Amino acid sequence: MSDKAPSRRALIAGLAALPVAASAAITAPASARDSERRSKKRKAPRPKVQHVDVAVIGAGVFGAWTAWHLVRAGKSVRLFDAYGAGHARASSGGESRVFRMGYGADTLYSEMARESLPFWKALSDSASAPIFHQTGVLWFAPEGGAHSAASRAWLHANKIPHQAGDVRWLQQAYRQIQFYQGEAGLLESEAGALIAARGVQEVIADAGIEVERVVMPAPLLSKRTRRHSLPDGGTADHLVYACGPWLAELFPQQLMHKIVATRQEVYHFGAPQGDTRFAPPELPAWADFNNGRIIYGLPDLEGAGFKIAFDSHGPVIDPDTMERDLTPAGIAAARAYVARRFPGLANAPLIGGRVCQYENSSSGDYLIDRLPGEERVWLVGGGSGHGFKNGPAVGKRVAAHIANASLAIEPRFSFASKGTVAARAVF
């Protein structure tokens, strides 16, 4: 946690401890006290909505698509977020995300990505500006790698359009990239890129609901009514906490060290005027899987510039108080990589960048399960750097659990499966 400012949890706790009512009664004149007594006799204002089926806390990609599916299923929904949809501190904020279906032998996420793509495409088709850009995704790695082979086998078995080839094929198809002997490539033709913050906002608009900017406390259940209380006095039958890196802050006893936020940097470099080699359709989204790590990026989309990021975890941070300035060391590493792999951008200026965060689970798997001991409170998170693309499938799964209480929890998404060891990168 940063020492520059208190956390939101500390502020809430501190405010709760202040004897406001007592001090006001001591210092207020008699007329003010009489006025206060009269006002207490008046009926409290009614909440904006008296009761809903589900309250979703967190308007990121998981919360937005959960709300969307619930609305489509006929449920009444309220959606809360402390900072608003697609805000600058959110893991779902920023410019763009890679959308791919190849996950090696991990077919669970491949299936979720395939399930999610039609939802993103439909949203993009109806939006005022594209949300999904079908750039393709190029994966390159040492020839004979197990991950590439397994991804290719799944794509082939599921009739997903793709191409593959050795280093000669790579060099002929993508002359703006420097490849090395012994590398091979795999191109997912129907994959591409998603616009992030605007995409989340479009999901919420398409659901026909609005985001209420509220700092939501931990759940409070009335034993008499069996309903959960909301901050304005309204109630909800079910609560879904999909608040990304804030999950562990809200539920420290259950999730501290099981959901961990880490600092990540992304960089945008500007190609020279008239140079189209680093924009679609000439350049797809790409991922370089060499030496045990993944470096990935996107072509110039919507004028944001050529994007590059390193899929390795930075230091643990507090998303509320983290300073979001790019580091000189990070910029230097990005420049060195770009000069080596994309020599046409060796002298390109840095035109933008962003400091964001992953919210990592120990296994890299999502968390989609009930809060222990609570029948109708759900915890949804652990995107671990690869969750954005699968937002529609995650939301659909959460809505299905709420509709059918007997639906089995996916073991890999269960609360019980989350340990406290260091998280791994997934992309």
- pLDDT category at 292 given cuts 50, 70, 90 is confident
What residues form DSSP beta bridges with 239? 55, 377
Q: What is the mean predicted confidence (pLDDT) over 130-157?
A: 97
What residues form DSSP beta bridges with 324? none
Domain contains 417: no
104 within 8 A of 426, measured Cβ to Cβ:
no
Domain contains 283: yes
**What's the pLDDT score for residue 25?**
34
Residue 423: pLDDT over 90: no
Distance CA 64, CA 81 (A): 10
Residue 260: pLDDT over 70: yes
85 within 8 A of 211, measured Cβ to Cβ:
yes
- 181: domain CATH number? 3.30.9.10
Domain contains 230: no
Residue 3: pLDDT over 90: no
Number of structural domains, the chain?
1
Q: What is the mean predicted confidence (pLDDT) over 296-317?
A: 96
**What's the pLDDT score for residue 194?**
98
Query: What are the tens digits of pLDDT across the range 173-210?
Result: 999 999 999 999 999 999 999 999 999 999 999 999 99
Q: Dihedral sign, CA of 306, 311, 314, 319? A: positive
**What's the pLDDT score for residue 223?**
83
| Share above pLDDT 70 across residues of the chain, in percent, rounded to a whole number | 87
Q: What is the mean predicted confidence (pLDDT) over 106-121?
A: 98
Domain contains 40: no
**What's the pLDDT score for residue 46?**
67
Domain contains 84: no
Domain contains 122: yes
Domain contains 252: no
Four-CA torsion 289, 291, 293, 299, nearest 10 degrees: -40
Domain range holding 183?
Answer: 97-195+261-356
Domain contains 105: yes
Residue 399: pLDDT over 70: yes
